[in-house]
Amino acid sequence: MKIAKLIREKAKEYRDYTTECLSEMVKIPSVSCAEEQVVLKIKELLEKAGVKDVHIDGLGNLIARVGRGPKILAIDAHIDTVDTGDESQWELTPFSGLIKEGYVHGRGAVDQEGGAASMVTAARILTELNYDGDYSIYFTFTVMEEDCDGMCWEYLINEEKLVPDFALITEPTNLGLYRGHRGRMEVELYFKGLSAHGSAPERGENVIYSGARVALEIEKLNRRLKTDEFLGKGTITPTLFRTASPSLCAIPDQAWMHIDRRLTWGETKESAVGELAQFCGDDVRIEVPEYDNPSYKGRVYKIEKYFPTWKIPEDHPLVQAGVRTHQQLFGAAPRIDKWTFSTNGVSICGRHGIPCIGFGPGNEVYAHAPNEKVPVDHLEKAAAFYALLPWILEL
């Protein structure tokens, strides 16, 4: 296929360009809700690459369009990162952006500014080739995913009215082709007891005991949760437990437990809450919290912290287009799999039913870990994949 050969050659020609783009991004700290400077840098890179239609929306997402076809393909990267953690565990400074021995090093290189850098190159290639096919290709560089996956896409779909026919998520897949992942939700349990003097504990109702009993039931529940042949097993675990009492010599009368729940196929918010209600007494309030942090632009866009499970079939036309794209570029079928973690797909496909696939540079084992790094080879191949996919979808 002539266009595949041309795109492969251009991606190779722009290999160093893609690498430098990523290095510049990594050098700019961009934790959730503080992404403004990296957004402006990517906007500058896109404009210098010749992309004409580039704007920042009311939440702070950066959106670039190439082509004016009647169908919409969205190619998405979140450009916020988690924080560095204990910097003594890093061999290089976390924001070095160092290009060394075939890798770009630093926080965000894998999760997931590597995908963003390859998108910039793909947009450049499509612009230079004067793409005028069936698709309007929206390159979305989205914010606050690490804080609240999918919220940025709730804003894009509901407020910006950007409703794709198909979406490609560029989170790290180690250059595999992914078609789903488990959902997740956060749950908070509020315990109410009765305070009494620590010298007479029998007079009170100690929320540490009631919390411990619930925690042990959660441990049992985790063992019996359902599984799915493709997505795997659902999980549940407490991640934080705090108490309050009048003093250190008083029985605590209030407690709060935070729960991380991963949802496999067929599990929902209602089923997960119902399972907890079976062993939480009347003195335990169960809540699914709401996200309400402001973006760097000051916009608050509230969303419940329930992120639905999603997957699409292996024989879906979008998956098969991804397979053909990989075959045309690299001469072999891709590995088809799933993410272990959560992505913006919880909104795009999980809430709105828009078919998604994933293809991204880097190994997800480096996500949120010290010494994050992405192979330069992956950046080149990902750029070629993103640029070719619109043509393959038209076949």
Question: Of the listed 76, 111, 145, 146, which one is catalytic?
Answer: 145
Pair 95, 29: CB distance under 8 Å? yes
For residue 230, give the nearest of 265, 190, 276, 195 by alpha carbon: 265
CA-to-CA distance for 288 and 186, rounded, in angstroms? 6
For residue 204, give the nearest of 162, 245, 265, 262 by alpha carbon: 245
Active site residue 260: no
User: The tokens 């919409």 sit on which residue?
Assistant: 72
Q: Which DSSP string corresponds to 109-144? A: TTTTHHHHHHHHHHHHHHHHTT--SSEEEEEEEE--
Positive or negative torsion for Cα 305, 118, 24, 107: positive
Active site residue 80: yes
Task: Looking at 230-268, list the stretches that DSSP marks H as alpha helix, in order from N- to C-terminal side.
Answer: none
CA-to-CA distance for 254 and 282, rounded, in angstroms? 14
Question: Of the listed 80, 113, 146, 372, which one is catalytic?
Answer: 80
Task: Looking at the chain, list the stretches that DSSP marks H as alpha helix, in order from N- to C-terminal side.
Answer: 2-13, 15-26, 36-48, 113-128, 151-158, 207-224, 269-277, 317-330, 345, 376-393
For residue 357, give the nearest of 374, 331, 339, 375 by alpha carbon: 339
The residues that are catalytic are 80, 145
